[in-house]
Structure 1
Amino acid sequence: MKKKALGAMALAGTTTLALTGCGGGAGGGGGEGVIDYWLWDANQLPGYRQCAEDFNEANPDLTVRITQLGWDDYWSKVTNGMVAENAPDVFTNHLSKYPDYLRFDQLVPLDDVDLDFGQYAEGLADLWVGQDGSRYGVPKDWDTIALFYNREMVEEAGLSDEEMAELTWNPDDGGTLEKAIARLTVDRNGVRGDEPGFDKDHVEVYGLGLTASGAGMGQTEWSWLTGTTGWTHTNENPWGDRYNYDDERFQSAIAWWSGLIDKGYMPRLETTVGASMPDNFGAGRAAINANGSWMIGQYAGYDGIDLGIAPTPIGPEGHRASMFNGLADSIWVGTDDLEGSRKWVEYLGSPACQDVVGAQGVVFPAILSSTEKAVAAFEERGIDVSAFTDHVSEGTTFLFPITSGAAQVEGIMKPAMDAVLTGQADVSSLTQANERVNALFE
């Protein structure tokens, strides 16, 4: 591939989701016998270090060198590394990123890997098959959404764990979800959001936390609401070519959600810039946070917080919903050791490694038997994760939408959604944004 074309990819932009990570070193293609492997989640680093040691022992002619970077640095360095021809041999890939890497021919087809794809959670393996029918990623883990809540605040508000587990929602009056959020919101005078005299301009504790507008995916922000209405992001998944942000079901859900800000039940978007929603939760500034299963460890680690985890609410069509996202490991087309990289990817996708990762109790591995080890590890720490796993066992998930030009879609939808959340535009403005998005496919 010419560097000019790769430069276009670097300028295409990146999207940001709420995932964790810390700073780390930088590397590049390891050369013959050395496999450079990159990931972004620091919490998973110990498990993958153990996998690398086990792999090295079984393959003494190969050495895996792991680099961990924070989310934003990670993607800029992966892309810039491709431009400079020193990207990692193998890297953790995300569904919002890989369509652009495919577009610029930066991923090695993995059709010949020796793995049983029936061992993974249903649908995960299919997500990583491109429009050409070839596979470009081996599933490594999966995630769903649930509601983290402060149990002490819930009890003080007169609510119970049982009520939190059976919340309902609709875009008209918000159902029992809005009632709970209002009850859990407290102003500086101790007046609750559902009580006379509530001061929405001086709130001490918000019923529902906010991290961002969600741009075009809304994975942790609003997709768990829109997914209960029958609405879908795209006309087909994977590889749709039309988005549906002009749909009344989507816009009415966003109108309700953004309306929580006007009511004082959710913080204003402009106040969240540079802030951490989980840390605000840990500091007692929010009673409920909708977030992903990859965040379990962080929420469970806050001192003085009696953590509860509730499933997402039952929506107007009578079911719960969660986006079902799955990461995978991919091989960069410029690797200096294709055979060694393929062996490492096969090992990453095997029970030998995923059992190790599962036992760490950080994420849910893609292999279902390895997920059981993760559930057991969480249980040993007193954490009930059924709100996340029930989505999979009960079939209330929908797949992360995959289309070409994902970065451009996010580039259009982020300012459009930001404008709605900040009150600068009506929710109907998303129809015009949708027209711009769909023009990308014409």
Structure 2
Amino acid sequence: MSLRRPSIRRALTATLAACMIGVTGCSSQAGGKTSIDYWLWDANQLPSYAKCIAKFEDKNPDINVRINQLGWSDYWTKLTASFVADSAPDVFTNHLGRYPELVKLGVLQPLDELPELKSIKDTDYEPGLAKLWTGSDGHRYGVPKDYDTVSIMYDKTKLQAAGITDAELASATWNPTDGGSFEKILAKLTVDKNGKRGDQKGFDKTNVKQYGLGVDKNFDYTGQTNWSPFALSTGWYYTNKPTWGTEFNYDNQQFQNSLGWYVGLSKKGYMPRYGQFGQSVTTDQQLASGQVALSLNGSWMLRTYANLKTVKLGISPLPSGPVGHPVSLYNGLGDSISKFSKHKTEAAKLVAFLGSDDCQNIVGTDAVVFPARPAGTAKAIETYRQKGLDVTPFTDRVKKGQTALYPLVYHGSEISSLMQPTLDSVWIGSTPVSALTGVNTKVNAILAEK
């Protein structure tokens, strides 16, 4: 395999420096079988996909699949390095925030050009998922494998201690002016070192023992598990179009009001401060330690929360915003094929199988994520139901059409780098939210680049 355009090689090399060591890949033929490589990053999903691949190999005895699992950061560094080193995997798990740049670099195979994948229909999957994997050029670059939404995970015992019912949390409302009934709930769930709650006289916001809401360290330009459910529930959206937008809307007043309300929770003492728990203490750990009562998180974290020994876990819908219902960001992973794979027929057979009911029902039964196909999602819901956990606050957002598509744009990494310092300053409190108006102008200038 070779990168046929020097510009691609230069672009990729520029992002890597010296990250070549430890990269493995390259398909091969041995012993009468064709060997292909499949990469993924989620260790929790590895056992399920190992089962899928074993079943695939039974159906295709002439194909051998080598699985390689890497942690999130190493995954993207080594994947990019593998394109430079001509050792990219044939098939790999892809992310909506990453694939536009890979398309622009010309390293992804358009899947609709492969006979084995031509029969895939958007209607095979949960609504909207397949659309996310269709590039601005109309080609399909990924086959959906799962999806995620956001809900509230909480400790039932802390709600009971505050005199709040599960039903009250489930029916909470929110607005950017006074936070609605949701902010009142957060105040009740916040307790200072003297036992005073956030809605009681004498509450000391500088000396908090238990916060109403946990804080996610990934405070980025999509705000998936922190500010996005609030801003999106005002009717705001990231860009001027649902997919492949040409302008961002961070200068919008609804967005800025929503973000200002969110970071203001820390000033009121209802949520930890920026960097208070560092980068190592995750929201599930905050909940498990008793430091917070509620946690906003994605469905990919369900198994982790379900296994917390110190928490009587409950799952609640997001609060209903000004649009009249909850709104969750809607994200999904897909499987892609390297443009330089020597065995595209075999790779396409694997991708088709991973996106089929044969595999997705296995993933659903194991209940690590919600599979992209409805039958697999139904199996995941049932698996959790048998464990005494109602996960429909996650799946109902899709069923009821109460989602917003993950923003697909080119230059994602540049936009993220430009936005992050200002977002951090806003979160810290050293910069007003209105500063994002100027940043939005710069972001749109990047987006306008070809």
Q: Contact 2:89–2:338 at 8 Å: present in 1 too?
A: yes
Structure 2 partner of 1:175:
180
How many angstroms does 1:9 deviate by?
Answer: 3.7
Structure 2 partner of 1:258:
263
How many angstroms does 1:7 deviate by?
Answer: 4.3
Name which of structure 1's ranges 199-208 and 114-123 shifts more when overlaid on structure 2: 114-123
Structure 1 partner of 2:432:
426
Map 1:92-111 → 2, pairs under 5 A: 92-111=93-112
How many angstroms does 1:11 deviate by?
Answer: 4.7
Question: Which of these residues, 137, 143, 153, is aligned with residue 148 of structure 2?
Answer: 143
Which residue identity does 1:180 align to in structure 2?
Answer: I
Question: Which of these residues, 319, 323, 333, is aligned with residue 313 of structure 1?
Answer: 319
User: What is the distance in 1 between the residues matched to 2:166 and 2:300?
Assistant: 22
Structure 2 partner of 1:194:
199
User: What is the distance in 1 between the residues matched to 2:218 and 2:64?
Assistant: 42
1:28 aligns with 2:20: no
Distance 1:375 1:213, change over 3 A: closer
Structure 1 partner of 2:286:
280
Structure 2 partner of 1:158:
163
Distance 1:26 1:296, change over 3 A: farther
How many angstroms does 1:273 deviate by?
Answer: 2.5
How many angstroms does 1:203 deviate by?
Answer: 1.3
1:5 aligns with 2:2: no
1:226 aligns with 2:227: no
1:304 aligns with 2:310: yes
Q: Contact 2:213–2:271 at 8 Å: present in 1 too?
A: yes
User: What is the distance in 2 between the residues matched to 1:226 and 1:390?
Assistant: 19
Equivalences, count: 431
User: What is the distance in 1 between the residues matched to 2:402 and 2:302?
Assistant: 20
How many angstroms does 1:383 deviate by?
Answer: 1.1
Structure 2 partner of 1:22:
none
User: What is the distance in 1 between the residues matched to 2:135 and 2:170?
Assistant: 38
Aligned-partner SS, 1:42: coil
Name which of structure 1's ranges 291-300 and 34-43 shifts more when overlaid on structure 2: 34-43
TM-score (norm 1): 0.95
| Structure 1, unaligned runs of 5 or more | 14-24
TM-score (norm 2): 0.93
Q: Contact 1:213–1:269 at 8 Å: present in 2 too?
A: no
Which residue identity does 2:418 align to in structure 1?
Answer: I
How many angstroms does 1:4 deviate by?
Answer: 5.2
Structure 2 partner of 1:292:
298
User: What is the distance in 1 between the residues matched to 2:296 and 2:130?
Assistant: 26
Distance 1:246 1:11, change over 3 A: farther
**CA deviation map 1:198-250 (0-9, x unaligned):** 12112111111111362211111111111111111000121111000000000
**CA deviation map 1:45-66 (0-9, x unaligned):** 1110000100111111111111
Question: Which of these residues, 396, 402, 409, is aligned with residue 396 of structure 1?
Answer: 402
Aligned-partner SS, 1:334: coil
User: What is the distance in 2 between the residues matched to 1:9 and 1:184?
Assistant: 48
Which residue identity does 1:234 align to in structure 2?
Answer: T
Aligned-partner SS, 1:270: coil
User: What is the distance in 2 between the residues matched to 1:213 and 1:82?
Assistant: 27
Q: Contact 1:95–1:327 at 8 Å: present in 2 too?
A: yes
How many angstroms does 1:3 deviate by?
Answer: 5.5
RMSD over aligned Cα, in angstroms?
A: 1.4
Distance 1:356 1:317, change over 3 A: same
Structure 1 partner of 2:350:
344
Map 1:30-45 → 2, pairs under 5 A: 30-32=27-29, 33-45=34-46
User: What is the distance in 2 between the residues matched to 1:6 and 1:299?
Assistant: 42
Aligned-partner SS, 2:92: strand
How many angstroms does 1:427 deviate by?
Answer: 0.3
Q: Contact 1:3–1:83 at 8 Å: present in 2 too?
A: no
Question: Which of these residues, 424, 438, 443, is aligned with residue 437 of structure 1?
Answer: 443
**CA deviation map 1:103-128 (0-9, x unaligned):** 00010011030334311011111111
